[in-house]
Amino acid sequence: MEENKFENAFLDFTGMPESMGELLEAGSGSAAFKKGSIVKGRIIEKRPDAALVDISYKAPGTVPASEFLKYDEVNVGDEIEVSLEELETRSGGPSLSLAKAREARAWERITTEYGEGYVVKGFMRHKVKGGIMVDVEGFSAFLPGSQLDVGPVRNVEDYLGKEFDLKIIKINLDRHNIVVSRRELLEENLKGQRSKLLAEMNVDDVRKGVVKNIVDFGAFVDLGGIDGLLHITDISWKRIQHPSEVLHIGQEIEVVITGIDREKERVSLGLKQRTANPWDGVAEKYPKGSRVKGKVRNLMPYGAFVEIEDGVEGLIHLTEMSWTKRIAKASDVLSVGDEVEAVVLEVDTESHKISLGLRQKERNPWEVLAEKYPVGKHIIGKVRNMTNYGAFVEIENDIDGMIHVSDMSWTRKVNTPNEVLKTGQEVEVVILEINPEQQRISLGLKQAEEDPWASIDKLYKVGDVVKGKVTKITAFGAFVELSNKIDGLIHISQLSKDHVEKVKDVLKVGDEVEARVIKVDTAERRIGLSIKAVSETLSEADLKAAEEVYTSAWKPGEDIVNMGDVMKGMDELKLD
């Protein structure tokens, strides 16, 4: 496919005669002058634009200066062979062509003596589409642009007017054209040089080279016949983002051979290996816990890289920047160029990594808090924010403790903290636990007060008449807040002697009510109340019966706010 491409391009620029053989036969030395024959002649006059040639005919003929390869070297008296194009022209002399004669003789030599693969001299004539037309001993051969050099050719003009060794890679007898290559000779020569260089090379050898190309992952260095790869990680002991920070094309450098693959002809190079490894002795120089000073060289989302000394960097991770603040990104705390002092947390010389910490310069405030606020201590704090499961209270220096909803009240089930607290409210709380490692403080709101259920038997007994305020209406009853913030439940069946369809038809939130205690469950922390039993004098048996109905309705562990049709048997209890 490639050969056909070369031939098709070549056909656009050649003007071979239809029968080259006829032209050669015509010039076999016969004295007869025939159109198309090749004859010998002698230059008798050299003009600026043409040479006058005597071929022993009636009159001399002319050959244009452009047909001579090097017209400035032509002298009067030189003998040449020419093709007889016309026997007579208007000027009276014959029309001659040096180029066609040379081309015919060259074609004969190339096809009979040389052949494909033969190396010839070629003079770069002029640029054409897809390549260069080359004069090979008088024959116009085609040199494709891809066959001009081993690498990309930036300017074809640089090759014109020069002579090079070329290899014949295709001869087409039918089309009378020739394709040549310079690249194949160069590659063969380079292959020989590469083989020789590879045989001489050894790992750890120091070689001079020239930077040939720079890419994102490194640089290719010409070692005088073979290219070696200098990876970006082997350019400098420092952290660099791109090879161009250190190298430029054409730069001469000394590199160390770090690896050789003779089978694949690949060579790995190192530049930083020419200098001492700054990581040698780092563990001894910067022991764990020591303080170091450095400059911030690079910021990443996860932390900051700090240069401690030339070629040695440490990482301050986000989590090691503050004891109390949640850092979203390193740039919120540090900037490139900042001079910082940090504490060495860990040194990994094998991986060339040092972990640093900013917050370790100060004592862990959580440890200080654990000493300052022992478990059981009462403190005053402000509610900062709330979640579904609890409220966060500021203790000091941006350190918060959390009150879980289960620790907000002794007497009622708290579903969300805003039932009890408000943001900005000052509250008295008790330290329940401080965990410095997990940076967590557990607080109790209810623990700041005595548990009224601890002395409930002194406060309320079955049969007592009590007063309270309705705090919540449900489908099955009303919750009433008694003294000491204790809630009691009046079931819908205990609201009136008459049948009650809906609780809200009888009571509303905020109503003051009077009720009789008919159930006290200290284990489940529940009190059952009855309004309709207030006006009646109950016997001990009546109270016992009412208590049994509540007990059967209130199963142990059941949440009173989800009872539904609890205490269905209460309607059947007659309190006469």
Does residue 19 share a domain with residue 123? Answer: yes
pLDDT, tens only, 65-82: 888 878 888 899 999 888
Does residue 270 share a domain with residue 291? Answer: no
Can you say whether the dihedral through the CA atoms of 330, 336, 341, 344 is positive or negative? positive
pLDDT for the residue 25: 44
Q: Is the pLDDT of residue 561 over 50?
A: no
Amino acid making up residue 149: D
Does residue 370 share a domain with residue 348? Answer: no
Amino acid making up residue 397: N
Residue with tokens 């330290």: 431
Beta-carbon contacts of residue 54 (< 8 Å; ≥ 6 apart): 41, 42, 44, 60
Does residue 124 share a domain with residue 12? Answer: yes
Is 377 domain-assigned?
Answer: yes
Q: What is the pTM of this model?
A: 0.44
Is 525 domain-assigned?
Answer: yes
Q: CA-to-CA distance for 521 and 526, rounded, in angstroms?
A: 5
- Per residue, what are the HEC states of 297-349? EEEECCEEEEEEECCEEEEEEHHHCCCCCCCCCHHHCCCCCCEEEEEEEEEEC
Structure tokens at 431: 């330290």
Does residue 403 share a domain with residue 308? Answer: no
pLDDT for the residue 251: 92
pLDDT for the residue 564: 35
Does residue 2 share a domain with residue 44? Answer: yes
Closest CA to 169 of 101, 110, 124: 110
Number of H helices, E strands in the chain: 8, 30
Q: Identify the CATH number of the domain in which residue 554 sits.
A: 2.40.50.140
Of the three residues 140, 172, 196, the one that is the final residue of a domain is 196
In which band, very low, low, confident or very high, does the pLDDT at 547 lie, cut at 50, 70 and 90? low
Structure tokens at 390: 């609890």
Does residue 52 share a domain with residue 179? Answer: yes
pLDDT for the residue 549: 55
Is 80 domain-assigned?
Answer: yes
Arithmetic mean of pLDDT over the chain: 83
Give the structural domain span for 297: 286-361
Quick check: helix, strand or coil at residue 568? Answer: helix
Is 88 domain-assigned?
Answer: yes
Is 453 domain-assigned?
Answer: no
Quick check: helix, strand or coil at residue 470? Answer: strand
Long-range contacts at 492-499 (CB < 8 A, ≥ 24 apart)? 493/567, 493/568, 493/570, 493/571, 494/518, 494/528, 494/529, 494/530, 494/531, 494/532, 494/533, 494/570, 495/531, 495/532, 496/531, 496/532, 497/532, 499/571
Long-range contacts at 301-306 (CB < 8 A, ≥ 24 apart)? 301/329, 301/330, 302/330, 303/330, 304/330, 304/333, 304/334, 305/239, 306/340, 306/342, 306/356
In which band, very low, low, confident or very high, does the pLDDT at 256 lie, cut at 50, 70 and 90? very high
Share of the chain above pLDDT 70, in %: 88
Q: CA-to-CA distance for 550 and 564, rounded, in angstroms?
A: 13
**Type and span of the H or E element at 285:** helix 282-285
Q: What is the largest CA-CA distance in the chain?
A: 164
Does residue 486 share a domain with residue 388? Answer: no
| CA triple 177-180-186, angle to 5 deg | 175
Split into its structural domains, the chain has a count of 5
Does residue 141 share a domain with residue 50? Answer: yes
Q: What is the DSSP string of 173-220?
A: TTTTEEEEESHHHHHHHHHHHHHHHHHH--TT-EEEEEEEEEETTEEE
Is 159 domain-assigned?
Answer: yes
Does residue 261 share a domain with residue 293? Answer: no
pLDDT for the residue 338: 93
Is 210 domain-assigned?
Answer: yes
Q: Is 368 exposed, middle or buried (0-12, 13-18, 19+ CB in 10 A)?
A: middle
pLDDT for the residue 552: 56
- Per residue, what are the HEC states of 383-413? EEEECCCEEEEEEECCEEEEEEHHHCCCCCC
pLDDT, tens only, 194-238: 777 888 889 999 999 999 899 999 999 988 878 899 999 999 888
Is 280 domain-assigned?
Answer: no
Q: Is 109 exposed, middle or buried (0-12, 13-18, 19+ CB in 10 A)?
A: middle
pLDDT for the residue 21: 46
pLDDT for the residue 13: 42
pLDDT for the residue 486: 83
**Type and span of the H or E element at 543:** helix 540-553
Please check whether residue 227 is in contact with residue 264, taking contact to mean a CB–CB distance below 8 angstroms: no
Long-range contacts at 91-94 (CB < 8 A, ≥ 24 apart)? 91/59, 92/58, 92/59, 93/57, 93/58, 93/59, 93/60, 93/61, 93/62, 94/33, 94/55, 94/57, 94/59, 94/61
Q: CA-to-CA distance for 479 and 51, rounded, in angstroms?
A: 128
Does residue 236 share a domain with residue 109? Answer: no
Count of residues in the chain:
576
Closest CA to 118 of 144, 137, 100: 137
Residue with the bigger pLDDT between 236 and 32: it is 236
pLDDT, tens only, 331-364: 999 999 999 999 999 999 888 899 999 998 988 8
Does residue 180 share a domain with residue 34? Answer: yes
pLDDT for the residue 139: 87
